[in-house]
Amino acid sequence: MASLCRLCSLVLVLQLLHIYSLGVYGFKHQTGKNNVTSPTNGKLFPWNKMRLPDMVVPIQYDLCVHPNLTTVHFTGLERIEIFVRENTRFIVLHSKGLEITSAVLLPKDDLGSSKPGTQLQVLEHPAHEQIALQAPEVLTAGQRFLVVIEFHGRLADGFDGFYKSTYKTRDGETRIIATTDFEPTSARMAFPCFDEPSFKANFAIMIRRERKHIALSNMPKIKTIELEGGLLEDHFDVTVKMSTYLVAYIVCDFKSVQATTSSGIKVSIYASPDKWSQTHYALEAAVKLLEFYEKYFDITQFCY
Ligand SMILES: *[C@@H]1O[C@H](CO)[C@@H](O)[C@H](O)[C@H]1NC(C)=O
Ligand SMILES: *[C@@H]1O[C@H](CO)[C@@H](O)[C@H](O)[C@H]1NC(C)=O
């Protein structure tokens, strides 16, 4: 066990060295014009560091995700409310493997007005997994804006970002589920975001799905609306202020059982339809354990 841990930390150190040397290389290259990196998509990128600048910070993300488990593609529409801390023409954030089809800037107070937004130019720096949205004019410090980004991507094959997972039914049919694992730096594979832990924000997640599927996210569902064409859109409650790596969602055809603890906490267990009959024991155990710990630690509203 101990040697395994040592091996892990060795690998970690090697990875850190790798990142560090990349950073140093980038810097040497830039001497003299220290805010601009070499062209990536034919244009100069306005930021040459691995860490994001903090001239612009996110306040809230309204994120609508539409995954298709048949085509294993997803589209997304997000509206990020940002606060400008220092005058700048650039909004630099993370994005990895996503195709951005549109980025528009709206003044924060103009909600509901018919004024068209300002188109932002999208610059890419794939080596740093960053994009820069360039405004035609300087955004002045102290203002709030909405950045509306449309994008699409493919569900990943690994276990990172927004990825495709499968299970087999009893009859041997392979079914697909779409799920996320964002820690530490994979939220940027699912939606453009300020993917560093200190850029905390609120998240309001919406997920489009077919009727035969369910969607789950960090927060309880507040409503489901029916869209033209029969798809459903689940709206989840807004999260507390948190880091991007904590965001999670899943679309699948799992079934659930639910119970409530004596202090009123709802507990749910989800499983593939074939395994559903085995969930009742898990539910019974989970409720008993939660009640035990509430009493043991004298905490009535367990944060789980
Ligand atoms: C980069 O530097 C140039 C001059 O050296 C300056 O005009 C420009 O505004 C800088 N860009 C950013 C994003 O700070
Ligand atoms: C996924 O694509 C299939 C085939 O194009 C379509 O029938 C289905 O409605 C789509 N589902 C969603 C959730 O978009």
CA 296 to mean position of chain CA atoms: 35
CA distances from 280 to 144, 213, 258 (A): 49, 21, 9
Q: Is the CB of 210 under 6 A from ligand 2?
A: yes
Please state which of the ranges 26-30, 75-79, 85-89, 211-215 shows the lowest mean pLDDT. Answer: 26-30
Residue 275 within a domain: yes
**Is 97 found in the same domain as 127?**
yes
Q: Indicate the pLDDT class of residue 4, thresholds 50, 70 and 90.
A: very low
**Is 290 found in the same domain as 219?**
no
Residue with CA nearest ligand 1 atom 3: 35
**Is 123 found in the same domain as 87?**
yes
| Mean pLDDT of the 130-159 span | 96
**Cβ(208)–Cβ(180) under 8 Å?**
no
pTM: 0.83
**Cβ(19)–Cβ(7) under 8 Å?**
no
- CATH classification of the domain holding 159: 2.60.40.1730
**Is 286 found in the same domain as 178?**
no
- Residue 40 has what pLDDT? 64
**Cβ(199)–Cβ(242) under 8 Å?**
no
| Mean pLDDT of the 100-112 span | 84
pLDDT, tens digit (0-9, with 9 covering 90-100), for 37-85: 665 667 889 998 999 999 999 999 999 999 999 999 999 999 999 999 9
For tokens 């294993």, name the residue.
72
Q: Indicate the pLDDT class of residue 18, thresholds 50, 70 and 90.
A: very low
Mutation probe of ligand 2 site: the residue of 70, 154, 224, 228 with most atoms within 8 A of C-beta: 70
Range of the domain at 162: 56-253
> Which of 112, 119, 189 lies closest to 147, judged by CA?
119
**Is 126 found in the same domain as 269?**
no
**Is 147 found in the same domain as 200?**
yes
Look at the chain and report how many structural domains it folds into. Answer: 2
pLDDT at 114 over 50: yes
C-alpha R_g of the chain: 22
**Is 280 found in the same domain as 158?**
no
Q: Is the CB of 9 under 6 A from ligand 2?
A: no
